[in-house]
């Protein structure tokens, strides 16, 4: 339902429809390429290629009443212990199972049936049509916890089905212990201690990790198999319902409230110090035209009575902006209409100081000729000459001294 609402909302807007189409197309082609790579380079199980494994796949497929035996490939995994089921061409193609070679090696070396569980687990994904369902609920995956919760439920289902159809819950548990301890140590794991380990680990971050994970914790997966096949688990695992409520409360109520509080407090502090961000500054039309360097608009505004010395909340004038944005023609026009070259903002900054910092001799000379005072100091006691000396600009110092 959530996915339908999200997709429906996106499709109602042009931008949303484009986003849906773009990501769908991107996912489609990337999936085709990755699956094609496996089909070309992986080893496909057949009656003449790893016949024993192929018979396992065939037998389990028949038990699960799959209409067609899926293609199964073995690929080199670089040490990773994993497998997955998918569909070629997304929802419209053939079913496919990929077994990582290290998992197959473990089963062969131990002469056990761990690989039966792995194969049955992936076939269960196909039986339950999880691949197509995942595509349909994909938009809901963007909502925190909902998508991962669905994926964890799918894993529980496949674990139980694998244990049931293989009829070997012990090997299913061993298959999960391989994921926990690795190919050599899994047989010596103390199962009771390992299960109790889950109960010993508490806290919000442990619960948050579980909520964000696409796979359930391995002890919980083992418990589900034991409850199904033996009715009683080795260790009764605790429920983290209270911690889940706490995590949701913190993430969706406490943190947003704290964030809004900090933003509100920050705004109040900025207001107290008479400071604001640039996009909160009010510019009158003359200032905006001066910033844009729009001579025609500046002249029209001045002719119709705009005050060239009107200041904004920071004490900035249109002349100061014209200097900052280096518009000599606008500066000259403003000066002709009475703009004060010595007007200072709230910090004592003058247009001439800005010209010095911009290293613009042409603008500085315009201001000086209009009466700008090079010795006028800001609230730090620094004059235009002082700033020129700090910048080691000998040309500016020489120019400014001429107008002292």
Question: For 14-64, how does the pLDDT look when each residue is reduced to its tens digit (9 = 90+)?
Answer: 555 566 566 656 666 666 777 788 888 899 999 999 998 899 999 999 999
Q: Give me the pLDDT at residue 86, please.
A: 76
Burial class (CB in 10 A: 0-12, 13-18, 19+), 367: buried
Q: Give me the pLDDT at residue 151, please.
A: 86
User: How far is the C-alpha of 176 from the C-alpha of 106, rounded, in Å?
Assistant: 13
Length of the chain: 404
3-class secondary structure, 76: coil
User: How far is the C-alpha of 63 from the C-alpha of 59, rounded, in Å?
Assistant: 6
Please check whether residues 123 and 261 belong to one and the same domain: no
Pairing of strands 95-100, 83-87: antiparallel
Determine what percent of the chain is predicted with pLDDT higher than 70. 82
Please check whether residues 216 and 308 belong to one and the same domain: no
**Chain segment 65-109, per-residue pLDDT in tens:** 998 999 999 998 776 777 887 765 544 568 889 998 887 887 677
Please check whether residues 210 and 102 belong to one and the same domain: yes
Asked if pLDDT for residue 399 goes beyond 50, the answer is: yes
Q: Give me the pLDDT at residue 17, please.
A: 56
User: How far is the C-alpha of 298 from the C-alpha of 306, rounded, in Å?
Assistant: 9
Please check whether residues 228 and 129 belong to one and the same domain: yes
Q: Give me the pLDDT at residue 254, please.
A: 73
Instruction: List the alpha helices (DSSP H) in 111-145.
Output: 114-127, 130-136
Q: Which residues pair with 383 in a beta bridge?
A: 377
Q: Which of 131, 134, 125, 195 is nearest to 162 (CA)?
A: 125
Q: Give me the pLDDT at residue 88, please.
A: 59
Range of the domain at 303: 279-402
Supply the mean pLDDT for the chain. 82
Of 238, 265, 289, at which residue does a domain stop?
A: 238
User: How far is the C-alpha of 84 from the C-alpha of 97, rounded, in Å?
Assistant: 6
Of the listed ranges 47-51, 59-63, 111-115, 140-144, the least confidently predicted one is: 140-144
**Chain segment 190-213, per-residue pLDDT in tens:** 999 999 999 998 777 888 888 888
Q: Give me the pLDDT at residue 276, please.
A: 46
Determine what percent of the chain is predicted with pLDDT higher than 90. 32
* Contact (CB, 8 A) for 183 and 105: yes
Query: Helix 146-166 and helix 114-127: axis angle, to 10°?
Result: 120
Asked if pLDDT for residue 185 goes beyond 60, the answer is: yes
3-class secondary structure, 60: helix
User: How far is the C-alpha of 217 from the C-alpha of 258, rounded, in Å?
Assistant: 31
Please check whether residues 192 and 261 belong to one and the same domain: no
User: How far is the C-alpha of 96 from the C-alpha of 71, rounded, in Å?
Assistant: 5
Q: Give me the pLDDT at residue 403, please.
A: 79
- pLDDT class for 303, splitting at 50, 70, 90? very high
User: How far is the C-alpha of 75 from the C-alpha of 82, rounded, in Å?
Assistant: 10
Please check whether residues 251 and 231 belong to one and the same domain: no
User: How far is the C-alpha of 68 from the C-alpha of 401, rounded, in Å?
Assistant: 93
Please check whether residues 251 and 148 belong to one and the same domain: no
What would the mean pLDDT of 326-342 be, rounded to a whole number? 91
Helix H or strand E segment including 73? strand 71-75
Please check whether residues 36 and 180 belong to one and the same domain: yes
Instruction: List the alpha helices (DSSP H) in 252-370.
Output: 255-272, 285-292, 295-303, 318-324, 328-336, 351-357, 361-369
Of the listed ranges 30-39, 290-299, 320-329, the least confidently predicted one is: 30-39
Helix H or strand E segment including 85? strand 83-87
Of 184, 210, 238, at which residue does a domain stop?
A: 238
Asked if pLDDT for residue 316 goes beyond 50, the answer is: yes
Asked if pLDDT for residue 167 goes beyond 80, the answer is: yes
User: How far is the C-alpha of 3 from the C-alpha of 21, rounded, in Å?
Assistant: 15
Please check whether residues 361 and 313 belong to one and the same domain: yes
- pLDDT class for 271, splitting at 50, 70, 90? low
CA-based angle 106:227:190, to the nearest 5? 45
Please check whether residues 179 and 52 belong to one and the same domain: yes
Tally of domains in the chain: 3
Asked if pLDDT for residue 163 goes beyond 70, the answer is: yes
Query: Helix 14-41 and helix 2-11: axis angle, to 10°?
Result: 120
**Chain segment 210-251, per-residue pLDDT in tens:** 888 889 999 999 999 999 999 999 999 988 777 777 766 766
CA-based angle 66:70:71, to the nearest 5? 170
CATH assignment of the domain containing 349: 1.25.40.20
Please check whether residues 19 and 168 belong to one and the same domain: yes
Query: Quick one: CA dihedral 293, 294, 296, 302, positive or negative?
Result: negative
Q: Which residues pair with 71 in a beta bridge?
A: 96
95 phi/psi in degrees, rounded to 5: -75, 150
Please check whether residues 297 and 385 belong to one and the same domain: yes
pTM given for the model: 0.57
């Amino acid at each position: 339902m959530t996915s339908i609402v999200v997709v429906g909302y996106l499709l109602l807007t042009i931008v949303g429809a484009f986003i849906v189409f773009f990501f769908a197309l991107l996912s489609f082609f990337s999936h085709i390429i990755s699956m094609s790579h496996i089909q070309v380079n992986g080893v496909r199980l057949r009656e003449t290629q790893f016949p024993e494994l192929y018979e396992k796949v065939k037998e389990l497929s028949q038990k699960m009443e799959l209409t067609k035996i899926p293609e199964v490939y073995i690929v080199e995994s670089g040490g990773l212990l994993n497998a997955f089921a998918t569909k070629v061409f997304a929802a419209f193609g053939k079913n496919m199972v990929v077994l990582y070679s290290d998992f197959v090696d473990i089963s062969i070396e131990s002469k056990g049936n761990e690989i039966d569980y792995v194969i049955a687990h992936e076939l269960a994904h196909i039986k339950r049509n999880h691949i197509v369902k995942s595509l349909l609920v994909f938009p809901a995956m963007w909502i925190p916890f909902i998508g991962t919760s669905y994926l964890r439920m799918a894993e529980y289902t496949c674990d139980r089905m694998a244990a049931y159809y293989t009829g070997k819950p012990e090997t299913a548990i061993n298959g999960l212990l391989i994921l926990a301890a690795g190919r050599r140590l899994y047989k010596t794991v103390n199962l009771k201690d390992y299960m109790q380990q889950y109960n010993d680990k508490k806290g919000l971050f442990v619960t948050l990790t579980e909520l964000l994970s696409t796979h359930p914790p391995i002890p919980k997966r083992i418990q589900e198999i034991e409850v199904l096949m033996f009715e009683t688990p080795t260790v009764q695992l605790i429920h983290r319902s209270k911690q889940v409520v706490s995590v949701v409360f913190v993430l969706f109520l406490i943190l947003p409230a704290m964030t809004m509080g900090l933003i509100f407090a920050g705004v109040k502090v900025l207001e107290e110090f008479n400071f604001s961000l640039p996009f909160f500054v009010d510019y009158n039309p003359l200032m905006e035209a001066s910033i844009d360097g729009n001579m025609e608009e500046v002249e029209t505004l001045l002719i119709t009575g705009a005050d060239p010395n009107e200041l904004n909340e920071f004490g900035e004038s249109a002349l100061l902006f014209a200097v900052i944005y280096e518009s000599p023609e606008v500066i000259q026009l403003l000066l002709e209409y009475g703009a004060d070259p010595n007007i200072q903002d709230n910090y004592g900054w003058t247009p001439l100081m800005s010209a010095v910092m911009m290293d613009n001799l042409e603008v500085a000379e315009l201001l000086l000729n209009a009466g700008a005072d090079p010795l006028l100091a800001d609230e730090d006691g620094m004059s235009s000459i002082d700033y020129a000396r700090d910048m080691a600009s000998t040309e500016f110092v020489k120019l400014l001294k001429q107008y002292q």
